[in-house]
């Protein structure tokens, strides 16, 4: 329930909003013991590596590891995530549950209290929707659209967001200070594509959405007439005035700082002052994503009947709390947001969901206990050395680039030298002790956590940025680049096999964790990141000629990815995935040359299982990205996500590299003109 929209940080993998993963009967990886570096049994040697490297490296694994019924996708990340949760996180929770007389506000009390409240289905059923009725009544009592917008400020504090989202984050043009941002929002299906795409699969999802909303209203005992169609119609109008997902990737375009007073002129149909007051923020200036959207939104709100807006806000209330309401609401919400949208067939057992919910809502208090138990301090040193190696290879690569001139190279190296990194977990932990958590009040617990997060966020407005803050909990299997801090961040949990294995063959590690480090570092120089300087400010450090060359290389990559059809009727969006594709190509290149550099002056490693060290490097990358997906998840990913599907992070990216073709003796995998070198 992070208030920050995803575009602010660039991540390694899809951060799924509706579900995370889990299932039984997969052989678990056990860190701390010797793990084979590469799982040879996953190879399908009947497939030619040059023709389909994913099929070759992972074919057998994929055949024997279909997507479990509780999942939308299943691969290295999901397997490790499940093991991490079922063994480590569940283990921590179980240990805490056996303790008595826990101090109110301590990590242990928050975690066990929330966990127990999640499992107390008897109380949950008894209370029904009672805890959210006062909010619903406020919505119903509103007399005008203006009343409703004022109330929306109060609802947004509980994360019941309407058509726009207000949040506090580092100012992209003054990165040491926090500013107030305002962006588009309020779509239940999250992305404009779900409202306008004419493909029959999407038409079907919209029809299911109408049914879902109707059912939820009926279960709540709210008797609006045809609420589903009302919501779909209103959200479609909203969607059609919003920026498309790839348009939001341009940091200059979405940075529009205006005086607060200008909001009223832009969108007269909205009483901004009341909204902000109820949201708890005082703003002199606001950075808006898209002025046109606010203008059109003002007109839309003005022309929408008050009854429609009431239905809309009641729906936002109900769907926001669906997971913490009695089980019939969870089930119905699961049916639409997981089964219909992602092809997940079976809902996980409640106990498993309880663990996930604690991990999601109390990630940092839990993370504090997690790293104390599971993160070896020695990893910090090893990983920091790896990062420095990648940095030095990057410097050499910049020097050798043929498409960039000397003045821009100097600036690029200056930015590279200013990079900072974080490994494992935060140096300081925030104080969560004021959150009131009761073992029998799940809905209130959820509200109290959200309010704590809200207050924490708004308290930063106008204040200096805390450069030490983390945007992910340490037990998250992911990594990110935060451009306004010019930093890359690696949570503790990704520093485990198959990503990082201190006991394993170096070549595999370079293709895995070093590729990941290179990926995050390259984000600082992808089409978005390259617009920020070493201090994390949006400022153009490129000569016009170099900028032109960079954009045209990106264009080539964009067109190449846009030509790939991943499932019938759906292609990768090369514009939306450009930054990630640049980061993959750059990360692999950096990893490869870091490996070569580590071997300089040394005897070259012997083949293992018949694979040269160069070949093993690419196998390491392929192992990280082995993944099966349901068709629905695949469609969702290419419609909404900045990451290309895992199969294509292997199969589309590797053939672009001469180093790959050389390693496997491939001829003509792609045209020579497509051997793209950006970094
Ligand atoms: Zn990324």
Check whether 17 has a pLDDT greater than 80.
no
Give the number of residues written for the chain: 679
Q: How many angstroms separate the alpha carbon of residue 519 from the centre of ligand 1?
A: 6
Average pLDDT of the residues in 324-347: 98
Check whether 110 has a pLDDT greater than 60.
yes
Q: How many angstroms separate the alpha carbon of residue 469 from the centre of ligand 1?
A: 20
3-class secondary-structure state, position 329: helix
Catalytic residue among 81, 352, 520, 526: 520
Looking at the chain, which residues constitute the CATH 1.10.1380.10 domain(s)? 146-324
Q: How far apart are CA 211 and CA 39, in angstroms?
A: 45
Q: How many angstroms separate the alpha carbon of residue 550 from the centre of ligand 1?
A: 19
Task: Give the pLDDT score at 28.
Answer: 28
Q: 51-69, pLDDT tens digit by residue?
A: 999 999 999 999 999 999 9
Task: Give the pLDDT score at 31.
Answer: 32
DSSP state of 89: I
Q: How many angstroms separate the alpha carbon of residue 324 from the centre of ligand 1?
A: 32
Pair 333, 322: CB distance under 8 Å: yes
Q: How far apart are CA 187 and CA 354, in angstroms?
A: 26
Task: Give the pLDDT score at 555.
Answer: 97
Task: Give the pLDDT score at 15.
Answer: 60
Average pLDDT of the residues in 496-525: 92
Q: How far apart are CA 613 and CA 617, in angstroms?
A: 6
Task: Show the 3-state SS of 190-213.
Answer: CCCHHHHCCCHHHHHHHHHHHHHH
Q: Is 520 a catalytic residue?
A: yes
Instruction: Provide the mean pLDDT of the chain.
Output: 93
Q: How many angstroms separate the alpha carbon of residue 523 from the centre of ligand 1?
A: 7
Q: Could you tell me where the DSSP H helices lie in 304-405?
A: 306-321, 327-334, 341-342, 350-361, 363-374, 377-400
Question: What is the residue whose two structure tokens read 């127990």?
Answer: 116
| Class (C level, CATH) for 146-324 | mainly alpha
Average pLDDT of the residues in 298-317: 97
Q: How many angstroms separate the alpha carbon of residue 144 from the centre of ligand 1?
A: 44
Task: Give the pLDDT score at 5.
Answer: 39
Q: How far apart are CA 251 and CA 523, in angstroms?
A: 14
Check whether 36 has a pLDDT greater than 80.
no
Q: How many angstroms separate the alpha carbon of residue 642 from the centre of ligand 1?
A: 8
Check whether 522 has a pLDDT greater than 80.
yes
Check whether 37 has a pLDDT greater than 80.
no
Q: How many angstroms separate the alpha carbon of residue 280 from the centre of ligand 1?
A: 33
Average pLDDT of the residues in 605-618: 95
Q: How many angstroms separate the alpha carbon of residue 583 from the centre of ligand 1?
A: 6
pLDDT band at 538 (very low <50, low <70, confident <90, very high): very high
Q: 145-181, pLDDT tens digit by residue?
A: 999 999 999 999 999 999 999 999 999 999 999 999 9
Q: How many angstroms separate the alpha carbon of residue 107 from the centre of ligand 1?
A: 31
Q: How many angstroms separate the alpha carbon of residue 89 from the centre of ligand 1?
A: 26
pLDDT band at 30 (very low <50, low <70, confident <90, very high): very low
Check whether 115 has a pLDDT greater than 70.
yes
Task: Give the pLDDT score at 670.
Answer: 75
Q: How many angstroms separate the alpha carbon of residue 423 from the centre of ligand 1?
A: 17
Average pLDDT of the residues in 427-439: 97
pLDDT band at 20 (very low <50, low <70, confident <90, very high): very low
Check whether 8 has a pLDDT greater than 80.
no
Residue 258 phi/psi, 5-degree rounding, is -135, 155
What percent of the chain shows pLDDT beyond 90? 90
Q: How many angstroms separate the alpha carbon of residue 384 from the centre of ligand 1?
A: 19
Q: How many angstroms separate the alpha carbon of residue 539 from the centre of ligand 1?
A: 21
Q: How many angstroms separate the alpha carbon of residue 520 from the centre of ligand 1?
A: 6
Q: How far apart are CA 382 and CA 501, in angstroms?
A: 11
Task: Give the pLDDT score at 10.
Answer: 80
Task: Give the pLDDT score at 29.
Answer: 29
Q: How many angstroms separate the alpha carbon of residue 591 from the centre of ligand 1?
A: 15
Q: How far apart are CA 431 and CA 429, in angstroms?
A: 7
Q: How far apart are CA 575 and CA 628, in angstroms?
A: 24
CA angle, residues 596, 597, 600, in degrees to nearest 5: 90
Q: How many angstroms separate the alpha carbon of residue 12 from the centre of ligand 1?
A: 4
Task: Give the pLDDT score at 24.
Answer: 28
Catalytic residue among 453, 533, 584, 632: 584
Distance from the Cα of residue 450 to its chain's centroid: 19
DSSP state of 254: T
Residue 255 CB coordination number (10 Å): 17
- For the structural domain made of 377-426+474-679, what CATH number should be given? 3.40.390.10
Q: 209-245, pLDDT tens digit by residue?
A: 999 999 999 999 999 999 999 999 999 999 999 999 9
Task: Give the pLDDT score at 674.
Answer: 81
DSSP state of 631: H
Listed as own residue / partner, the contacts of 304-309 with beta carbons closer than 8 Å and 24 or more positions apart are 304/145, 304/234, 306/142, 306/143, 306/144, 306/145, 306/148, 308/230, 308/234, 309/145, 309/148, 309/234
Task: Give the pLDDT score at 25.
Answer: 28
Average pLDDT of the residues in 487-503: 92
3-class secondary-structure state, position 282: coil
pLDDT band at 27 (very low <50, low <70, confident <90, very high): very low
Distance from the Cα of residue 343 to its chain's centroid: 19
Q: How far apart are CA 364 and CA 366, in angstroms?
A: 5
Please state whether the predicted TM-score (pTM) of the whole model is above 0.75.
yes
Pair 405, 545: CB distance under 8 Å: yes
Q: How many angstroms separate the alpha carbon of residue 540 from the centre of ligand 1?
A: 22
Residues 6+ apart with CB under 8 A from 567: 631, 634, 635, 638
Looking at the chain, which residues constitute the CATH 3.40.390.10 domain(s)? 377-426+474-679
Check whether 34 has a pLDDT greater than 50.
no
Q: How many angstroms separate the alpha carbon of residue 518 from the centre of ligand 1?
A: 10
Maximal CA-CA distance, the chain: 80
Task: Show the 3-state SS of 309-325.
Answer: HHHHHHHHHHHHHHHHC
Average pLDDT of the residues in 343-350: 98
Question: What is the residue whose two structure tokens read 């020579």?
Answer: 672
Q: How many angstroms separate the alpha carbon of residue 516 from the centre of ligand 1?
A: 9
Q: 355-396, pLDDT tens digit by residue?
A: 999 999 999 999 999 999 999 989 899 899 999 999 999 999
Pair 509, 383: CB distance under 8 Å: no
């Amino acid at each position: 329930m992070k208030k920050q929209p995803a575009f602010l940080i660039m991540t390694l993998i899809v951060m799924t909003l509706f579900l995370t993963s889990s299932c039984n009967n997969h052989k678990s990886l056990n860190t701390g013991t010797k793990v084979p570096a590469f799982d040879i049994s996953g190879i399908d040697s009947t497939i030619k590596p040059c023709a389909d490297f994913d099929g070759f490296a992972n074919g057998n694994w994929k055949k024997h590891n279909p997507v479990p019924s509780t999942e939308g996708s299943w691969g290295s990340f999901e397997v490790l995530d499940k093991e991490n949760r079922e063994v480590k996180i569940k283990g921590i929770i179980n240990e805490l549950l056996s303790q008595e007389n826990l101090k109110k506000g301590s990590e242990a009390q928050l975690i066990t209290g929330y966990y127990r409240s999640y499992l107390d289905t008897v109380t949950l059923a008894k209370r029904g929707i009672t805890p959210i009725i006062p909010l619903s009544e406020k919505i119903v009592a509103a007399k005008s659209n203006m009343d409703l917008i004022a109330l929306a400020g109060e609802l947004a504090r509980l994360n019941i967001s309407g058509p726009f989202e207000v949040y506090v984050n580092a100012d992209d043009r003054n990165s040491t200070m926090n500013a107030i941002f305002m962006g588009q929002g309020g779509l239940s299906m999250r992305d404009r594509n779900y409202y306008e795409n004419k493909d029959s699969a999407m038409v079907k999802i919209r029809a299911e959405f109408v049914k879902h909303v109707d059912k939820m209203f009926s279960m709540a005992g709210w008797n609006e007439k045809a609420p589903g169609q009302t919501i779909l119609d209103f959200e479609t109008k909203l969607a059609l005035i919003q920026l498309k997902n790839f348009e939001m990737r341009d940091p200059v375009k979405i940075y529009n700082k205006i005086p607060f007073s200008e909001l009223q002129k832009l969108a007269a149909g909205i009483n901004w002052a009341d909204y902000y007051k109820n949201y708890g923020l005082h703003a002199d200036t606001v950075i808006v994503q898209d002025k046109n959207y606010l203008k059109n939104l003002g007109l839309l709100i003005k022309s929408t009947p008050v009854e429609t807006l009431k239905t809309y806000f009641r729906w936002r209330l109900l769907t926001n709390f669906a997971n913490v309401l009695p089980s019939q609401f969870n089930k119905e919400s699961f049916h639409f947001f997981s089964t219909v949208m992602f092809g997940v067939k079976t809902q996980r057992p409640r106990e498993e969901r309880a663990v996930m919910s604690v991990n999601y809502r109390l990630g940092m208090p839990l993370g504090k206990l997690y790293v104390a138990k599971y993160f070896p301090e020695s990893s910090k040193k090893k990983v920091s050395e790896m990062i420095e190696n990648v940095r030095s290879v990057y410097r050499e690569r910049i020097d050798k680039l043929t498409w960039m001139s000397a003045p821009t190279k100097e600036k690029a190296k200056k930015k590279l030298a200013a990079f900072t990194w974080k490994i494992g977990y935060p140096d300081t932990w925030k104080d969560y002790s004021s959150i009131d958590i009761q073992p029998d009040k799940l809905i209130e617990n959820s509200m109290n956590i959200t309010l704590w997060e809200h207050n924490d966020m708004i308290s930063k407005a106008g204040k200096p940025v805390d450069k030490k803050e983390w945007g992910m909990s340490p037990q998250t299997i992911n990594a990110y680049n935060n451009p306004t801090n010019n930093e890359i961040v690696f949570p503790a949990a990704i520093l485990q096999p198959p990503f990082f294995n201190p006991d394993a063959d170096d070549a595999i590690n370079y293709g895995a964790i070093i590729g990941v480090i290179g990926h995050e570092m390259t984000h600082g120089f992808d089409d978005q990141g390259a617009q920020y300087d070493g201090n994390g400010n949006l400022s153009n450090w490129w000569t016009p000629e170099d900028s032109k060359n960079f954009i045209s290389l990106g264009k080539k990559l964009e067109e190449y990815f846009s030509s790939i059809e991943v499932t019938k009727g759906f292609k990768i969006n090369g514009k939306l995935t450009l930054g990630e594709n640049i980061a993959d190509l750059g990360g692999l290149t950096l990893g490869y040359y870091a490996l070569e550099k580590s071997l300089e002056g040394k005897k070259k490693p012997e083949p293992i299982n018949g694979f040269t060290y160069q070949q093993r490097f690419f196998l390491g990358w392929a192992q990280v990205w082995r993944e099966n997906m349901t068709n629905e998840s695949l469609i969702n990913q290419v419609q909404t996500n900045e990451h290309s599907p895992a199969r294509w992070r292997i199969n589309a990216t590797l053939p672009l590299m001469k180093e790959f073709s050389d390693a496997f003796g491939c001829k003509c995998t792609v045209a020579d003109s497509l051997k793209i070198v950006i970094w």
